[in-house]
Amino acid sequence: MKPRSASSFFAAACVAAASAAHAMPLSDRSDRTSFELFAGSNLATPGSFRGPLRIESPDGVTNYTRLGFDDAYQHDYTAGAELDFNLDSHVALFAQAAYSQFNGQNHEIGYTAPTAGFVPIHAQFSDVNSGELDLGARYTFAMGERLRPFVGASLGAEHVPDTYATVDDIRVGLGKSGTLFQQRVETGVQYSPMPNFDVRLTAAASHVDGGKSADDPYLPLLGLDSSNSTMHAHWDYPAEIGAVWHF
């Protein structure tokens, strides 16, 4: 099963389980811990490697278009697991492990304009698959109700592999493999169709710090230098659906 199909099936199963279950009182809960499996996708990754750029040479002019993060990478899916411990009826601490896949795109990054005519410049960006571990806290409102909003925050680390792009069969290093510091804030709603099972919908904003540039001598093929690479700090905005079991 493809990752996107698996995510859709998982989401449909969660919704079906919530719709089929009967409402039961939540005030009888005596559980202190819960376990969640979740899946989702990234709604946006704003920011760019660089803006438009024009370079003149004796052979002609090279015009580079703005190169945004979303131009180079398409976020495919995120999946992970979380363990919660309830300090009281409102506050919970959690540890979360997740895996994310970004698909590298083939993108026209600009064109040259020699005397013979226009020649487009294409770059094939590599896939980026990252793993992360976060520790955080969540505050839940309207305890005892079936529908409960919440807010949360976490700190963690994300490990990314070497990143690169290929231009005219030349591999151009963008960033070195490393572990990056990550901060995340989130909000959402949790629905309880039965005492020991919840469906959690989460919208988050995640900030990832910058890492080491590859310092590749071929970076000018992308209109870049060592000061602007894919390892720069950036924001992304994941949306997730999860199934939560209490015990």
User: In this predicted structure, what is the pLDDT of residue 246?
Assistant: 93
Tens-place pLDDT, residues 124-166: 999 989 999 999 999 999 888 999 999 999 999 999 999 999 9
Q: What DSSP string describes 69-81?
A: HHHHEEEEEEEEE
Across the range 224-245, mean pLDDT stands at: 82
* DSSP class of 221: G
Helix (H, G, I), strand (E, B) or coil at 87: coil
Which has more pLDDT, 230 or 139?
Answer: 139
Please give the share of the chain, as a percent, with pLDDT higher than 70: 84
For residue 136, what are the CA distances in angstroms to 101, 119, 247?
23, 50, 20
Tell me the C-alpha distance between 50 and 47, whole Å: 9
Across the range 164-179, mean pLDDT stands at: 92
* DSSP class of 69: H
Structure tokens at 51: 């803006």
User: In this predicted structure, what is the pLDDT of residue 138?
Assistant: 98
Gyration radius (Cα) of the chain, Å: 22
Q: Is the pLDDT of residue 13 over 60?
A: no
Yes or no: say if 49 and 67 are a contact pair by the CB < 8 Å rule.
yes
Tell me the C-alpha distance between 213 and 177, whole Å: 9
pTM of the shown model:
0.80
Domain positions in the chain are 3-246
Q: Which helix (H) or strand (E) holds 194?
A: strand 178-194
Structure tokens at 130: 């990252």
Number of other residues whose CB lies within 10 A of the CB of residue 123: 23
- Unique residue bearing structure tokens 């005892």: 144
Q: Is the pLDDT of residue 44 over 90?
A: no
- Unique residue bearing structure tokens 């199909």: 5
Top CATH class, 3-246: mainly beta
For residue 226, what are the CA distances in angstroms to 52, 167, 213, 229, 230?
17, 17, 6, 7, 10
Q: Is the pLDDT of residue 38 over 70?
A: yes
User: In this predicted structure, what is the pLDDT of residue 115?
Assistant: 62
Q: How would residue 30 be classed by pLDDT, with cut points 50, 70 and 90?
A: low
Tens-place pLDDT, residues 87-101: 998 999 999 999 999
Nearest-CA neighbor of 99 among 3, 177, 34?
Answer: 3
